[in-house]
Amino acid sequence: MKTILNTDNAPKAIGPYSQGINTGNLMFLSGQLPIVPSEGKIVAQDIEGQTKQSLENVKSILESAGCTMDNVVKTTVFLKNIADFGKMNEVYKGFFSEGNYPARSAFQVAALPQDALVEIEVVALKD
């Protein structure tokens, strides 16, 4: 069974994809840009603000499926500049319970949609 995840508390998809897919036990969330849902655009100009907004968007999608950030088992972080890794990491760790951090990969990429500094996708396990 496959259920489309969709909430107004996260940005609408800017292409032919869903905010996320719930397969029953596993949820796959599309990469979340730091778009403020009510504005429809990126507001923060620094990596800290953009990381926070991307993770708030992830959190909103998870909450729409009855989950929390502690359900996340894997994240992939795409950074425009790998030099921002430390600053991103400081914000990132605040979204998870101490000792319950998911597995993670982080990459520098040539560019991100809407000239974002970060995009974050997750896989979560639904209890």
Query: Tell me: the pLDDT tens digits for 76-118?
Result: 999 999 999 999 999 999 999 999 999 999 999 999 999 999 9
Q: What is the pLDDT of residue 127?
A: 80
* Domain housing 76: 3-125
CATH of the domain at 62: 3.30.1330.40
120 has a pLDDT exceeding 90:
yes
Residue 54 in this model has a pLDDT that exceeds 90:
yes
Reply yes or no on whether the pLDDT at 1 is more than 90.
Answer: no
pLDDT at 11: 96
Q: Is the pLDDT of residue 62 over 90?
A: yes
Residue 42 pLDDT > 90? yes
Query: Per the structure, how many domains does the chain have?
Result: 1
State phi, psi for 37 to the nearest 5 degrees: -55, -40
State the virtual CA torsion across 123, 35, 66, 19 in degrees, nearest 10. -60
User: Which of 5, 61, 70 minimizes the C-alpha distance to 32?
Assistant: 61
Give 72's contacts (C-beta < 8 A, 6+ positions apart): 58, 62, 96, 102, 122, 123, 124
